[in-house]
Amino acid sequence: MMMKIVVLDGFASNPGDLSWEALAQMGELQVYDRTAPYELHERIADADIILLNKTPMNAAAFQAAPKLKLISVLATGYNIIDIEAAKAHGVRVCNAGSYSTNAVAQMTFALLLEATQQVGSHNTAVRDGQWSQSKDFCFWNTPLMELAGKTMGLVGFGSIAQAVAKIAEAFGMKILYTARRKRNDPRCVSLEELLAQSDILSLHCPLTADNTGMINEESLGKMKDGAILINTARGALVDEAAVCNALEQGKLAYFAADVVSKEPISPNNPLLHAKNCYLTPHIAWAPKETRERLHAINEENVRAFLAGCPQNVIV
């Protein structure tokens, strides 16, 4: 008997430029672009396997899916799943670790270079005629920054942070980082020291109950005046109001983020009106090559599960 495979929110990872054919060959496939909360229980009622990205699976959802055997997450993070409920119902949960390492590292530097070189701002100025009217052969509207010799502090040192470190070193930057467990590495320092020494602080850690809001008024106060803060990890790591205040007061020179506390971003998020703030709509993972890798990992997750040897297992 064929397994019923349901994709609950496929549009984000596949807006039409990828194929679901590999999954269709493994079972009876139903793909939904998006699933609203009121639609969830009906859509998963007879599902054996679910693929999802950001659709929450709480305890009630597991109750509504008595046939469910596997959830494969179209992402690395799996905080949208009630893991204890999955255990209680005997449901295997798998994810796609490290698929986006290169892309997120690339986005980290895209954000940093925008802050330090102001490419977008100067492109606009040129197109508005400011260069044509310039008395000199060049001009700049804001101070620019050379990265060589600067200290880049990384909160977390997993695969993405390590990829960022390699790029930073190619720019001639000094690397410091903090990790969950102290390492025998002179670059591994306490969070206090990292805050104090970093010219650029970049977040690369998972969101937990312990580190929610870790970048707040107190921690910002320990940073260098005029430091740059980058967040490509999880929005809730940052107290957004505190960041806005730090930008306004000049404590932070720039804040650049691909993630915010509530996504899509709320119209009243204070970051939308903060100065020297650059925001992108959670697209670090979005290059086609990256999404192809994500889909291939999830297809293999399903294939391995059906073969009796599950991979990338969370529970």
Indicate whether 313 belongs to any domain.
no
- Domain co-membership, 117 together with 69: no
Indicate whether 192 belongs to any domain.
yes
Indicate whether 124 belongs to any domain.
yes
- Domain co-membership, 150 together with 225: yes
Alpha-helix runs per DSSP H in 128-171: 159-170
Q: What is the pLDDT of residues 205-223, one digit of tens each?
A: 999 999 999 999 999 999 9
Q: Is the pLDDT of residue 1 over 80?
A: no
Instruction: Write down the mean pLDDT value for the chain.
Output: 97
Indicate whether 42 belongs to any domain.
yes
- Domain co-membership, 114 together with 248: yes
Q: What is the pLDDT of residues 45-62, one digit of tens each?
A: 999 999 999 999 999 999
**In total, how many domains does the chain have?**
2
Indicate whether 210 belongs to any domain.
yes
- Domain co-membership, 157 together with 252: yes
- Domain co-membership, 12 together with 74: yes
Task: pLDDT band for 181, please (50, 70, 90 cuts).
Answer: confident
Q: What is the pLDDT of residues 270-294, one digit of tens each?
A: 999 999 999 999 999 999 999 999 9
Q: How would you classify residue 311: left for phi > 0, otherwise alpha for psi between -120 and 50, otherwise beta?
A: beta
- Domain co-membership, 133 together with 167: yes
- Domain co-membership, 141 together with 80: no
Supply the CATH number for residue 155's domain. 3.40.50.720
Q: Which residues are CB-neighbours of 138 under 8 A, at least 6 positions away? A: 131
The neighbour count for residue 293, using CB atoms within 10 Å, is 19
Q: Is the pLDDT of residue 40 over 80?
A: yes
- List, by residue number, the catalytic residues: 234, 263, 282
Indicate whether 314 belongs to any domain.
no
- Domain co-membership, 109 together with 252: yes
Provide the pLDDT for residue 14.
98
- Domain co-membership, 212 together with 66: no
Mean pLDDT, range 27-34, rounded to an integer: 98
Q: Is the pLDDT of residue 12 over 90?
A: yes
- Domain co-membership, 10 together with 60: yes
Domain residues for the domain of 266 are: 101-279
- Domain co-membership, 91 together with 106: no
Indicate whether 105 belongs to any domain.
yes
Provide the pLDDT for residue 2.
87
- Domain co-membership, 141 together with 274: yes
Q: Is the pLDDT of residue 179 over 80?
A: yes
Which percentage of the chain shows pLDDT scores above 90?
97
Alpha-helix runs per DSSP H in the chain: 21-24, 37-44, 59-63, 83-88, 101-117, 119-127, 159-170, 191-197, 217-221, 240-249, 288-306
Q: What is the pLDDT of residues 122-156, one digit of tens each?
A: 999 999 999 999 999 999 999 999 999 999 999 99
Mean pLDDT, range 52-74, rounded to an integer: 98
Provide the pLDDT for residue 51.
98
